[in-house]
Amino acid sequence: MSLPFYEPWFAFAVLVVFVSAFIQGLSGFGMALLAVPLLLSQPGIGIHAVPCLTIVAFGTVVEVLYRYRRHLDLERTLWLAIPALVSTPLGVELLQRVPLPYLRAGVGIFLMLQSLYQLRPRAVSAPTAEALVAAEALSRRDYSRRACVVVGLISGVLGGSMGMVGPLLAAYLIASGISRDSFKVTLNAVFMASLLFRTGNFALKGMLDATWAVAGLSLLPVAWLGGKSGVYMDRFIPAARFAVLVNVFLLGLGGWMFVKAWQEF
């Protein structure tokens, strides 16, 4: 077994993991979306980036779950997570039948349209602290289980085919009017279930050997520190602006996915 610390790519991986973990701590998602494409392009890492980052992501997800644990709506999380896990193998099968650029373009267009709709000008006043508390209490009980199942199933398919569990979940939750803290903890609870499922699969299929397991474990503290830094900076973002931040992130992600797919056609 060779240790990763002396490899040329390790310093770059530390930087990528910290920045992407910071983004996830700040916004609630986005670590894999940023880190996987960057690390896949590095000589010496390649496809090993996916199982390695599956281990690394635990550092950030655990930090976000701990920080926002009091805002977890377990019932809604289960209605999203279980369908996502069930449909993940379908995503793998879909990837074998539908060219990846078509999948990427479709998701990119959806994210752009959804984000632009949410960012449309609306005459609204800044919510009071009491209104935010009331909105969170309402969002805990006023949601469609059927919609959760549908979104969870589609997200699982996207996770299995492209490793992107988060974007559709984020678009659905932010459009539902969920509070910022509930948004973060719900997303990361689903991520935790997905990480456990995928780590087991990688181990069973021999895709996570000792070298890459050590690399993932050695980057865990970096992911934890990046996530903790993002959670800390989150306090400086007004609650009324958080939904705008997420939608701008999703708009940029959708545009990037569409351009990437266009280049691959």
Q: Mean pLDDT in the chain?
A: 82
One-letter amino acid of 124: V
Cβ-Cβ contacts under 8 Å for 56 (sequence gap 6 or more)? 17, 35, 216, 219, 220, 222, 223
**pLDDT for 1 beyond 80:** no
The single residue listed with the structure tokens 């019932």 is: 75
Task: Judge whether residue 186 has pLDDT over 90.
Answer: yes
Domain borders along the chain are 4-264
pLDDT of residue 65: 95
211-234: average pLDDT: 90
User: What confidence score (pLDDT) does residue 202 get?
Assistant: 75
Rounded CA separation 137/107 (Å): 31
Element (DSSP H or E) covering residue 97: helix 74-97
Secondary structure of residue 78 in the 3-state scheme: helix
Determine the pLDDT at residue 223.
94
Q: What is the pLDDT of residue 123?
A: 55
User: What is the predicted pLDDT for the residue at 122?
Assistant: 65
Helical spans, DSSP H, in 163-209 = 166-175, 180-204
Across residues 211-225, what is the average pLDDT?
87
pLDDT score for 79: 94
Give the CB-side neighbour count of residue 31, counting CA atoms within 13 A.
Answer: 36
Residue 51 has a pLDDT of: 78
Confidence of residue 215 (pLDDT cuts 50, 70, 90): confident
Question: Is the pTM above the cut of 0.95?
Answer: no
Q: Where do we find the tokens 């691959």?
A: 264
User: What is the pLDDT, as a whole number, of residue 243?
Assistant: 85
Cβ(24)–Cβ(31) below 8 Å = yes
| Other residues' Cβ atoms within 10 Å of the Cβ of residue 204 | 9
Is the pLDDT assigned to residue 31 strictly greater than 90? no
Tens of pLDDT, residue by residue over 110-169, are 889 888 988 888 655 555 555 555 555 545 555 788 999 999 998 888 877 776 788 889
The mean pLDDT of 167-182, rounded to a whole number, is: 87
Nearest to 145 by CA among 214, 213, 61, 83: 83
Rounded-to-integer distance, Cα 223 and Cα 14, Å? 9
Q: Which of 147, 165, 163, 146 is nearest to 155 (CA)?
A: 165
Answer whether 24's CB lies under 8 Å from 64's CB: yes
CA distance 163 to 151: 15
Match 């002396």 to its residue by tokens. Answer: 6
- If one counts every other C-beta atom within 10 angstroms of the C-beta of residue 263, the result is 8
CA 96/CA 251 separation, integer angstroms: 27
> In percent, how much of the chain has pLDDT > 90?
27
Which string of b and e fits 129-165 if b means at least 16 CB within 10 Å?
A: eeeeeebbeebbeebeeeebbebbbbbbbbbbbbbbb
Q: What percent of the chain has pLDDT over 70?
A: 86
Q: What is the mean pLDDT of residues 73-78?
A: 90
Least confident piece of the model among 60-64, 116-120, 204-208:
204-208
User: Is the pLDDT assigned to residue 25 strictly greater than 90?
Assistant: yes
